[in-house]
A and B are shown apart, each in its own frame.
Chain A
Amino acid sequence: MRISVRKITFYAIMLALSLALSIAESFIPFSIPGLKIGLANIITLILLCNFGFFPAFAVNIGRVLLTSLILGNFLQMGFFMSLAGSMLSLITMTLAYIFLKRLTMVGVSLIGAFFHIFAQFMVALLYFGSWSIFYYFPLTMAFSLASGIVIGIIALLISSMKSFERIKGNSPN
């Protein structure tokens, strides 16, 4: 299998960007455990809707692994929550993008946001074995929907930029 230098460079830049966004937002304090804006999802969404599933998958899994190594929670609860959330949201966003053609990136992002939180709560449920963790679900979900809209709009705006069209046109896919 041959991978062009342009392809490797482009995905590496995307991975670096999503990693930077991920690390940066880990410093934003919230009073609810696990609450995050999910800025790195902008990159996932742009890759998924413009370049397909596999680049989005590769960058996503690379981001989760590297972020956990940098933040020091590799193979711990936070890592598994992050992994499950990002994988389930990517799969559901891919299915929504393929089968629900009338949705724009905002709708796809909302579906991703919902399943991200859902998967994280399921991992926490497995970890602690108590349904009472769902106490945090409505607030987290409300926050997640708001951030899902913002992320969808940002991804939509970036994807419709003329300069991005040029990158897309030059991209190896």
Chain B
Amino acid sequence: MKAKELFKKHFFDGIVLLSLIAITIISFALVLSFSNKPASSLKADIYRENTLLRTIDLSKVEKEESFVIEGSKGEMVISIKHNAIKVEDSSCYKKYCVHEGWVDKAGHPIICAYNSIYIYVGEASFSDVDI
């Protein structure tokens, strides 16, 4: 009886929950279809806010190397290797960007909100890379 009452009371909450779960599943399917594609040639665009700091052709990187970029509040150490990039260290205190580890799939971004750094990883075209 109590369970029936509870079901009746929260029936419309359940409808809201199911609709939102449906939206989540659709967005998950969309994300899967647009990202996580292993590509033969990857590039990384590093932005600070909306300014493009650097574009790297990751497919042409042969050995692992690191460099420092200036974020809005401090420095970040970026490591690159063949078709992969990661944030080695960052001045932010939560280190979400560092925990991402090596990113080697197109469409998987790395974000450091503290330093306003955004790294877009995508398939490289012929004309848009520096290195």
Q: B99 contacts which chain A residues (CB < 8 A)?
A: 31
**Which 5 pairs between the two chains have the least Cβ-Cβ distance?**
A107-B13, A138-B28, A102-B12, A128-B118, A33-B96
Q: Is the CB of B24 within 8 A of A132?
A: no
Additional A-B contact list (9), CB under 8 Å, known A73-B114, A128-B118, A136-B111: A77-B116, A78-B113, A100-B12, A103-B12, A104-B9, A104-B13, A132-B35, A132-B122, A138-B25
- What's the Cα separation between A111 and B23 when bound, in Å? 12
The SS class assigned to the A binding surface is helix
Q: Is the CB of A135 within 8 A of B35?
A: yes
- What's the Cα separation between A132 and B123 when bound, in Å? 13
- What's the Cα separation between A43 and B10 when bound, in Å? 21
13 CB-based A-B contacts, threshold 8 Å:
A32-B96, A33-B96, A33-B113, A34-B113, A76-B116, A107-B13, A111-B16, A114-B23, A128-B111, A132-B107, A135-B108, A135-B109, A145-B20
Write the nearest CB–CB distance from A113 to chain B, whole angstroms. 8
Q: B23 contacts which chain A residues (CB < 8 A)?
A: 114, 141
Say if the beta carbon of B53 comes within 8 Å of chain A. no
Interface size on A, residues (CB 8 A): 37
Q: A110 contacts which chain B residues (CB < 8 A)?
A: 13, 16-17, 20
- What's the Cα separation between A138 and B25 when bound, in Å? 7
Which B residues fall within an 8 A CB radius of A?
Answer: 9-13, 16-17, 20-21, 23-25, 27-28, 30-31, 35, 47, 49-50, 72, 94, 96-97, 99, 107-109, 111-114, 116, 118, 120, 122
Tell which of A34, A104, A128 touches B47, judged by Cβ atoms closer than 8 Å: A128
Total contacts A-B at CB 8 Å: 95
Interface residues of A in 52-108 (CB under 8 A from B): 73, 76-78, 81, 100, 102-104, 106-107
Q: Mark A121-152, 1 if CB is under 8 A from B, else 0.
A: 00010011110111111100110010001001
Say if the beta carbon of A29 comes within 8 Å of chain B. yes
Write the nearest CB–CB distance from B16 to chain A, whole angstroms. 5
- What's the Cα separation between A157 and B76 when bound, in Å? 45
- What's the Cα separation between A100 and B16 when bound, in Å? 11
Write the nearest CB–CB distance from B90 to chain A, whole angstroms. 12
- Among residues of B, the one whose C-beta sits closest to the C-beta of A81 is B113
- Among residues of B, the one whose C-beta sits closest to the C-beta of A100 is B12
Q: Is the CB of B109 within 8 A of A130?
A: yes
Q: Is the CB of A141 within 8 A of B24?
A: yes
Tell which of A31, A124, A128, A145 touches B96, judged by Cβ atoms closer than 8 Å: A31
Write the nearest CB–CB distance from B83 to chain A, whole angstroms. 17
- Which of the listed residues B24, B35, B47, B97 has the most CB atoms from chain A within 10 Å of its own CB? B24
Q: B49 contacts which chain A residues (CB < 8 A)?
A: 127-128
